[in-house]
Amino acid sequence: MKALAVLLAVSAFQPKIPQTWKNSDVEALEVPLANPKYSPIHISEGTYYRIPVRIIYKSYPVYHPSREPAGYIEWLKQQEPEIAFDPSRLHTREDWVKVGEVVFNAPTSYGPVFFSAVNLRDPSFFEKTGMPVAKDGTVPFARWVIRRKGEVELGSMGCNTCHTRVMTDGAVVPGAQGNNPGDREGASMLRGAAKAGDPFKVLERIRAFTRQFEMPWLSDDPNRRAQVMSLDELVAAGEEIPPGVTARSNTSMLVPPQIPDLIGVEERRYLDHTGLVRHRGIGDLMRYSSLVQDMAGLDRYGDLQPPKPDAGHAARYSDEQLYALVLYLYSLQPPPNPNLFDAVAARGKKIFEREGCGQCHTPPFYTNNKLIPVDGFEPPADHKQRFDIMATRVGTDSRYALETHKGTGYYRVPSLKGLWYRGPFEHNGSVATLEDWFDSARLRDDYVPTGFKGYDGRTRSVKGHRFGLDLSAKKKKALIAFLKTL
Ligand code: HEC
Ligand code: HEC
Burial grade of 137 (CB within 10 A; 0-12, 13-18, 19 or more):
middle
- What's the pLDDT at 5? 57
Q: Which residues line ligand 2 (CB under 6 A)?
A: 258, 352, 355-357, 359-361, 372, 392, 394, 396, 411, 413-414, 416, 419, 425-427, 434, 437, 465, 467-468, 479
Q: What is the pLDDT of residue 463?
A: 96
| φ and ψ at residue 377, rounded to 5 degrees | -130, 130
How confident is the model over 450-468, as a mean pLDDT?
91
Ligand nearest to the CA of 159: 1
Average pLDDT for 203-218 = 89
Distance 101 CA to ligand 1 centre (A): 15
Q: Is the pLDDT confidence value at 307 over 90? A: no
Q: Are 307 and 212 in contact (CB under 8 A)?
A: yes
Ligand located closest to 257 CA: 1
At residue 10 the predicted structure's pLDDT band, cuts being 50, 70 and 90, is low
Average pLDDT on 368-375 reads 98
- Which tens digits make up the pLDDT trace of 143-178? 999 999 999 999 999 999 999 999 999 999 999 999
3-class SS letters over the chain = CHHHHHHHHHHHCCCCCCCCCCHHHHHCCECCCCCHHHCEECCCHHHHHHCCECCCECEEEEECHHHCCCCHHHHHHCCCCCECCCHHHCCCHHHHHHHHHHHHHCCCECCCCCCCHHHHCCHHHHHHHCCCCCCCCEEEEEEEEEEECCEEEEEECCHHHHCEEECCCCCEEECCCCCCCHHHHHHHHHHHHHHHCCHHHHHHHHHHHHHHHCCCCCCCCHHHHHHCCCHHHHHHHHHCCCCCECCCCCCCCCCCCECCCCCCHHHCCEECCCCCEECCCHHHHHHHHHHHHHHHHHCEECCECCCCCCCCCCCECCHHHHHHHHHHHHHCCCCCCCCCCCHHHHHHHHHHHHCCHHHCCCCCCCCCCCEEECCCCCCCCCHHHHCCECCCCCCCCCHHHHCCCCCCCEEECCCCCCHHHCCCECCCCCECCHHHHCCHHHHCCCCCCCCCCCCCCCCCCCCCCCCCCCCCHHHHHHHHHHHCCC
What integer best gives the mean pLDDT of the chain? 93
Quick one: pLDDT at residue 3?
A: 59
Which residues, judged by CB distance below 6 Å to any ligand atom, belong to the binding site of ligand 1? 157, 159, 161-163, 246, 248, 251, 257, 259-260, 262, 265, 268, 271-274, 288-289, 292-293, 325, 406
Cβ count within 10 A of residue 23: 12
What pLDDT was estimated at residue 6? 55
Lowest mean pLDDT among 122-136, 146-160, 306-320, 322-336: 306-320
Lowest-confidence segment of 146-160, 162-176, 181-195, 298-312 by average pLDDT = 298-312
Q: How confident is the model at residue 4 (pLDDT cuts 50, 70, 90)?
A: low
Confidence (pLDDT) at 448: 95
* pLDDT tops 60 at residue 344: yes
Distance between CA 285 and CA 110 in Å, rounded?
A: 25
Q: What is the pLDDT of residue 35?
A: 94
381, with CB counted inside 10 A (0-12, 13-18, 19+), is exposed
Q: How far is the CA of 218 from the centre of ligand 2 (A)?
A: 29
Is the pLDDT assigned to residue 63 strictly greater than 60? yes
pLDDT, mean of residues 299-328:
83
- Amino acid identity of 191? R
Measured from the Cα of 419, ligand 2's closest atom is: 26
Of all residues in the chain, what percent carry a pLDDT higher than 70? 96
Residue-wise pLDDT tens digits, 383-423:
999 999 999 999 999 999 999 999 999 999 999 999 999 99
Ligand 1 centroid to residue 259 C-alpha, Å: 7
So what's the pLDDT on residue 458? 81
**Cβ 139 vs Cβ 198: under 8 Å:** no
At residue 312, the pLDDT reads: 53
Q: Flag whether pLDDT at 253 surpasses 60.
A: yes
CB 146 within 8 A of CB 134: no
Confidence of residue 308 (pLDDT cuts 50, 70, 90): low
Q: Write down all domains in the chain, each with its CATH number in brackets.
A: 15-331 (no CATH), 343-483 (1.10.760)
* Among candidate residues 248, 483, 273, the one with its CA nearest the CA of residue 397: 273
CB distance 26 to 283 below 8 Å = no
User: Which residue owns the Cα nearest ligand 1 atom 13?
Assistant: 259
pLDDT attached to residue 310: 53
**Ligand whose nearest atom lies closest to the CA of 259:** 1
Smallest CA-to-CA distance from 299 within 29, 10, 99 is with 29
Confidence band (pLDDT; 50, 70, 90) for 85? very high
pLDDT value for 142: 97
pLDDT band at 79 (very low <50, low <70, confident <90, very high): very high
| Rounded average pLDDT over 245-274 | 95
Residue of the CA atom closest to atom 11 of ligand 1: 259
**162 alpha carbon, closest ligand:** 1
Instruction: Using the atom order of ligand 1, give the atom closest to the CA of residue 326.
Output: 35
